[in-house]
Amino acid sequence: HAQDSPLCQKSALKDPSSDLPEMPPCDFIPDKYKGMSKERMMQIRKQNCNPMTMKVTSYKTPAFIHQGHMQWLWDVDGKRYLDLFAGVATVSVGHCHPRVTEAAVDQLKRLWHTTNIYAYPPIHEYTEKLASHLPDPLKVIYLTNSGSEANDLAMLMARLHTGNYDIITFRGSYHGGSPQTMGLTSNSAYKYPIANGLGCTNTMCPDVFRGPWGGSHCRDSPVQTIRDCGCAQGHCMANDQYIGQLKETFATSVPSRIAAFFAEPIQGVGGAVQYPKNYLKEAYKLVRERGGVCIADEVQTGFGRTGGHFWGFQSHDVLPDIVTMAKGIGNGFPMGAVVTTAEIAASFGKGVHFNTFGGNPVACAVGSSVLDVIKEDGTQENSLHVGTYLMTELAKLRDKYEIIGDVRGKGLMIGVEMVKDKASRDPLPPDAMNEIFEDVKDMGVLIGKGGVYGQTFRIKPPMCITMDDANFFIAVFNKSIHDFMERR
Ligand SMILES: Cc1ncc(COP(=O)(O)O)c(C=O)c1O
């Protein structure tokens, strides 16, 4: 083969021994990297980037990523990785998707920036198109630059609209890192010892795997937990218990009138945690009885990721009052949105809010193209198809290995919770998690980690991955767990 033909590209496997699974072929040829050395990058990272950048750097031997194409990433040495984390559930239709890139370039040549104090076509084309993807009466959109910003504004709108202040979220949730959303987020790793979270209360997360209640058919996923229950079909004792906990929160921790309840349809950073069927439906009713609005944080679950529906809330059979979105909305372009009803949106008009970049023309062109591509490429259907297969195969590994406690999710929003043993369901300790995580990377696959104790592997790839990619990952994951068990 020619030197840089696809078949000759270096795979990310550190050891070409025969028992290593073979990476599916890819006919894209990346540019040869000619930039600064890895050592120099690390030096600058340590000296000139805030230490937080180093703190969040994944892996003992970090990944130095140079280029991306669809589900593939190449590092500066030309090694190829299957990206199953998508820059934290963000690259929705594929790295540098050619049609989205073309839309961005077209817009960049015409108009990079002006603000919404002027009328320019892309913001109108985009907001109309995005609104068409939401059910009535969720038709009024405010564009932002990130998910935290979208959630900040959703908090503000909920408080202004209801005249109430208190907001409830689930323990283990992540809704952003801004000073306001830090209060919604319920994971101590993301909390700073500063005054935050005034008016924010966390309630028990109805986690049917790790929580005190849960059984063998509580959740909406192709894979159920390993826990047993004697509930009759259609009746879920776990749901009643968790709703009881929410009622306790109402009775003890907030005033009788509240502003909002925030929930992701499936927890993202929390580790793809799923609630019992009907939980959100009952919770929404209780929240509305107390004057609150219901907010669906679709930052990770939106744009077809859960496969069966375009929005995660749709599979809970609920209609939120506010929906927030980011990440997948722009396939990696920094943007977000708050979508709500005309009535709630009007509350925002009580003051003036200005946002220089929200609704930027390039962001709108990108967002619009992402919506087209999801439809044209059948991305949502692919999510359902490949995601369901992946979970079914992962469940077989769960049955094989004592340390794989749970496999769950919908579409390509998947969690694999690792445990010391199935009886205790105690989290697999961080050093063990890191060993497996590093090994999977060395074998050519990037995955994520999450959960309050960092115990859950997260699989949220660009939604263009194939069945061959799924099989490759299963082989890699199987080998990494097998090798880990052998070493112990
Ligand atoms: C569910 C959820 N909401 C909000 C956010 C915050 O988004 P951003 O990082 O764009 O501010 C995140 C980020 O991970 C998220 O996962």
- Are residues 83 and 462 in contact, defined by beta-carbon separation less than 8 angstroms? yes
Distance 162 CA to ligand 1 centre (A): 24
Q: What is the mean pLDDT of residues 185-214?
A: 95
Name residues whose C-beta falls within 8 Å of residue 256's C-beta, 6 or more positions apart in sequence.
Answer: 290
Rounded mean pLDDT of the chain?
A: 95
Q: What is the mean pLDDT of residues 475-487?
A: 97
Number of Cβ within a 10 Å radius of residue 209: 23
Q: What is the mean pLDDT of residues 392-419?
A: 98
Asked if residue 122 has its Cβ within 6 Å of ligand 1, the reply is no
User: How far from each other are the two terminal CA atoms of the chain, in whole angstroms?
Assistant: 41
Confidence of residue 19 (pLDDT cuts 50, 70, 90): confident
At residue 2, the pLDDT reads: 36
Asked if residue 147 has its Cβ within 6 Å of ligand 1, the reply is yes
User: Which residues pair with residue 67 across a beta bridge?
Assistant: 74
What tokens appear for 39 in the block? Answer: 């050592």
> Higher-confidence residue: 284 or 488?
284
> For domain 99-376, which CATH number applies: 3.40.50.720, 3.30.2130.10, 3.40.640.10, 3.40.50.970?
3.40.640.10
At residue 284, the pLDDT reads: 98
- Domain map (residue ranges) of the chain: 6-55+78-89+379-487, 99-376
**pLDDT tens, 316-356?**
999 999 999 999 999 999 999 999 999 999 999 889 999 99
Confidence of residue 234 (pLDDT cuts 50, 70, 90): confident
Domain 6-55+78-89+379-487 matches domain 99-376 at the CATH topology level: no
* Ligand 1 atom closest to 264 (CA): 1
Distance 176 CA to ligand 1 centre (A): 5
Q: Is the pLDDT of residue 12 over 60?
A: no
* C-alpha R_g of the chain: 22
What's the CA gap between 337 and 152, in Å, rounded? 11
Number of Cβ within a 10 Å radius of residue 429: 13
Helix (H, G, I), strand (E, B) or coil at 231: coil
Q: 7-11, 177-181, 351-355: lowest mean pLDDT where?
A: 7-11
Q: Is the pLDDT of residue 126 over 80?
A: yes
Distance 85 CA to ligand 1 centre (A): 14
User: Which residues pair with residue 322 across a beta bridge?
Assistant: 295, 340
At residue 1, the pLDDT reads: 31
Which of 423, 416, 487, 424 has the alpha carbon at shortest distance from 457? 416
Asked if residue 456 has its Cβ within 6 Å of ligand 1, the reply is no
How many Å separate Cα 358 from the centre of its chain?
21
User: Which residues pair with residue 11 across a beta bridge?
Assistant: 80
Choose which residue among 91, 151, 169, 299 to substitute to test ligand 1 binding: the one with the highest number of ligand atoms within 8 A of its C-beta: 299
Helix 467-487, helix 379-400: angle, nearest 10: 20
- Are residues 70 and 83 in contact, defined by beta-carbon separation less than 8 angstroms? no
- Are residues 114 and 359 in contact, defined by beta-carbon separation less than 8 angstroms? no
Looking at residue 422, its amino acid is: K
Confidence of residue 196 (pLDDT cuts 50, 70, 90): confident
Asked if residue 460 has its Cβ within 6 Å of ligand 1, the reply is no
At residue 13, the pLDDT reads: 46
Task: Please tell me the pTM assigned to this model.
Answer: 0.95
Distance 369 CA to ligand 1 centre (A): 22
Topology of the domain covering 6-55+78-89+379-487: Aspartate Aminotransferase, domain 1 (3.90.1150)
What's the CA gap between 332 and 92, in Å, rounded? 8
The arrangement of strands across the sheet holding 293-297 comes to 140-144, 336-340, 322-325, 293-297, 260-263, 167-170, 200-203
At residue 20, the pLDDT reads: 82
